[in-house]
Amino acid sequence: MRKLLPFAMVAIALSAAPAWAQSVTLVSPGQMQWADAPQFGKGVKLAVLMGDPTQAGPYVVRLKVPAHTTFPAHTHPDTENVTILSGALLVGLGNAVDKSKGQRLGSGAFVSLPQNTPHFAWTDKRETIVQIHGVGPSGMTVATAALKQ
């Protein structure tokens, strides 16, 4: 009986492989389709790696953000999970941009912002690339105070 257990485990794993393989997403840097994303600021580019952030379900996107870009205070209806891949992103909490209250997140850093958390962000003197993942539908609502600035 003990000799059959490893074989049975391999057989089960192999029978599940086709379902697993159908859900695999592989995207190399050369395959990323960057598109202008002016809703996030001048010169910002967006690549959707998986899913659709406007629809229900998991998604992964990347933003390529030029130097000296400021995102106004805003919220999201979902939890926003951000990993800084290159450059630096400065992030602060609140309904208005106050750069004295921001925290610098360099390459490799991660921040998770719960749904409806007012926050703002900006880049310094270099381009920054971030990866954002969550479970949609996502969106961005600019804070009323930010609209008055």
Look at residue 4 and tell me if it is in a domain. Answer: no
pTM of the entire structure? Answer: 0.81
Q: Cα–Cα distance between 74 and 92 in angstroms, integer? A: 11
Between 16 and 105, whose confidence is greater?
105
Compute φ and ψ for 80, nearest 5 degrees: -100, 120
**Which CATH number belongs to the domain containing residue 36 in this structure?**
2.60.120.10
pLDDT at 75 over 50: yes
Look at residue 105 and tell me if it is in a domain. Answer: yes
Look at residue 16 and tell me if it is in a domain. Answer: no
Look at residue 109 and tell me if it is in a domain. Answer: yes
CB 134 within 8 A of CB 58: yes
Residue type, 46: L
pLDDT at 9 over 60: no
Look at residue 8 and tell me if it is in a domain. Answer: no
Q: Cα–Cα distance between 93 and 82 in angstroms, integer? A: 15
pLDDT at 12 over 50: no
Mean pLDDT for 7-18 is 48
pLDDT at 7 over 60: no
SS3 category, 127: coil
Look at residue 10 and tell me if it is in a domain. Answer: no
pLDDT of residue 118: 97
pLDDT of residue 145: 64
Q: Cα–Cα distance between 46 and 62 in angstroms, integer? A: 6
SS3 category, 3: coil
pLDDT at 5 over 60: no
Look at residue 78 and tell me if it is in a domain. Answer: yes
SS3 category, 39: helix
Look at residue 128 and tell me if it is in a domain. Answer: yes
Q: How many residues belong to the chain?
A: 149
Question: With pLDDT > 90 as the criterion, what percentage of the chain qualifies?
Answer: 75
Overall number of domains in the chain: 1
Q: What is the pLDDT of residues 86-102, one digit of tens each?
A: 999 999 999 999 999 99
Domain range holding 104? 26-148
The Cα-based distances of 46 to 42, 90, 99 in angstroms read: 12, 19, 24
